[in-house]
Structure 1
């Protein structure tokens, strides 16, 4: 049933170029942030392409965009494939767009070959996966999985000052051709093609990674408070210096957490000193810590160690410490049965593949809460992503879409 199946690689590459021009930057990257005019332009183009092929187009209240190719039995839950179209401010051409356009290429290939599927196959472009303009990220898949838009999202402000509710409304109104559908519906399975955003596949010369799960992420906000005083007149004995406590704590944690556990990730991404004067000891230091690990038990242990070390160093400097958990996303394991389908698809497509874990979270994580989900990774040059220099070799873009086609043929019960 899957023998000889092939996508139109030239068409896929042309589409990648065409969408990269929407929000294209002088550095060769893409700035197409969620719910902007440029994001709407990309949604409009995808809708136009879908309508030309006779596919049905829908959008839900969070502006997730769906393109449906009907199956023989419309009552069966559809197979969902896709990703997102929004980018980082200094993003690349492939993050998100490759997955969405690979999925659309699969839909077009099924149509080109006049293949009948038992169930409908739908492409989805989820809203605001990146989370750089409006936080949190993965808004579309999160709301889809929950079946509702959280009330507090409606009052969010963008990094550019725009209000969320009017931007969402404008995005929905920009596609009058799309039929409205409610948030959330039964899904047979969800598959997503994505760049690896790491160096493993490229370093091993492999075209495909079959993603077995996504590691957990926990964000902490640590505030250490001491006493501001004159930098020149305050001797060491009289100082209550929160920065000294912070640097001592970080020195321990940097030496402990990642060196002791290859699966652990420890990152300080933001730090603010107050009052922020050159000639004053700071009164407080606030920083964020990003912890990641495949197991919840290790995340708990890492958080406990962060708390222990900061409290100890703060006491030594006569300072106080407050630690707050500001984000907590549990690890996800994708269903073995769906991974077996991807293994079979890779074999039928003649593509070498290895199983691997994702260090970043994606829409598939939230979809996996309501339906079987899995991901296909393709290599990117030097593992670079969220960067204008992000690059995927043409043959690897084609390989990812080819594997997706073979997997769809197995999951949607294709008939010639």
Structure 2
């Protein structure tokens, strides 16, 4: 296990704050995180555990055995979501839902998603050890296929659970090799088979997802905890440029209708949106497909795949207008035609102020520092937020690096987040202490 500077001793440092250190077992949490990386761990300290592959099946079985040792039932639904249930005093009460996902990107990091599930497991263990009674059941979820690396779309399990994606549609999705989600679930066997009893979104009182930030802000400002107020809006746009192919050697410059040259000018316009529209926008051109794609043929067609993100849909509207106007101007200049199509328009998500206040209160009670953040990445909590009062908690990650084998956190960061989750869950579940 690679440690960043000073990381080794971080876990043994006493946590700040008068109330800290009496809830979760920081050393056990870290050991559990390290242990879980056996399943799909890479030589470079990362994780390769795609949804419903062999490593995912192994880590699911490992989670279920941890629940069995504690005597907690595990329930599963028809998309393979796992739910570890710690009963409350009132069996009929709506539950508090925590957790995240155990699948990873190809050659991804060990903490994205995984930390949220295993910190949740530690919260359940700590409540049980201290014999703290709570009114509401507490449910720890491992959502199927959050990453979307093997099967599209991402956040699949939570989308089916919350009702925004039809089960049949999800089950029919196939990976690059042609295997469907339904076939992959069957291949995984018992750890993905539905149980007779399973939670429904209607039975959830509140949801909290603990996650690494996947960005640099918390570490850069020396802040312990991020209070995630929402998730930025995402708009995907395809720009299709049509020109005319011709011989690279014989076609005069003035007679060319070069689709790639026009597309390149559009790329430059997109890259400049931070200056022309708003400095907080995140514009990316991640795809370029050129036809006929031959070195000595002037390109006849070019397709650009754009990803635009900002907390405000209004800013994305302005960015889209700017792109459309620039594309029309570039087309007129270059003798090409440009077609602009929006293929995804995902609105911003605003998390619940009441659940966020519980997170803030927990952070204050522990003497930890906190700051308001917008999530720049998508998370399962987004899917739940439309149906259930939901919030997220962020901890720092080293250098803001994620979706990479170089993704790192420290034991101290891990413990701080788990303590905040413990206090938040205690509050939301009606714990008696």
* Contact preservation (8 Å) 1:63, 1:172: no
Q: What is the TM-score normalised by the length of structure 1?
A: 0.96
CA deviation profile, 1:151-178 (whole Å, cap 9, x unmatched): 4333322134422220123335345695
Aligned mate of 1:332, from 349, 352, 355: 349
- Report whether the alignment pairs 1:95 with 2:122: no
Partner of 1:33: 50
Matches within 5 A, 1:42-191: 42-146=59-163, 149-171=166-188, 173-175=190-192, 179-181=196-198, 184-191=201-208
Report SS of the residue matched to 1:44: helix
Counterpart pick for 2:247 among 230, 252, 255: 230
Quick one: which of 16, 19, 24 aligns to 2:36? 19
C-alpha distance in 2, partners of 1:323/1:177? 43
- Equivalent pair of 1:83/1:363 in contact (CA under 8 Å): yes
Q: CA deviation at 1:3?
A: 4.8
**1:391 matched to 2:400:** no
| Structure 1 residue 372 displacement after superposition | 0.8
CA distance in 2, matches of 1:177, 1:320: 51
In structure 2, relative to structure 1, the CA distance for the partners of 1:310 and 1:148 (3 Å cut) is closer
Check the 8 A contact 2:241/2:303 in 1, yes or no.
Answer: yes
Instruction: Give, in angstroms, the shift of residue 232 of structure 1.
Output: 1.2
Match of 2:360 among 314, 322, 343: 343
**What is the match of residue 378 of structure 1?**
395
* Cα distance per residue 1:192-214 (max 9 Å; x no partner): 11111111111111121111111
For residues 244 and 25 of structure 2, the distance between their equivalents in structure 1, rounded to whole angstroms, comes to: 65
Cα RMSD of the aligned pairs, angstroms, is 1.8
Contact in 2 for aligned 1:33/1:132 (Cα 8 Å) = yes
Q: CA contact under 8 A between 2:19 and 2:365: conserved in structure 1?
A: yes
What are structure 2's unaligned runs of at least 5 residues?
Answer: 1-17
- C-alpha separation in 2, matches of 1:119 and 1:6: 19
In terms of mean alpha carbon deviation, does 357-366 or 160-169 score higher?
Answer: 160-169
Q: CA deviation at 1:223?
A: 1.1
Contact 1:57 1:179 in 2 (8 A): no
User: Within 2, Cα distance between the matches of 1:64 and 1:48?
Assistant: 16
**What does residue range 181-330 of structure 1 map to in structure 2 within 5 Å?**
181=198, 184-257=201-274, 260-330=277-347
Which residues of structure 1 form unaligned runs of 5+? none
Local SS of the residue matching 2:63: helix
Change (3 A) 1:366 1:175: closer
1:403–1:323 distance in 2 versus 1, CA, 3 Å: same
How many correspondences in the alignment? Answer: 415
CA distance 1:77–1:207, shift in 2 (3 Å)? same
SS of 1:222's partner is strand
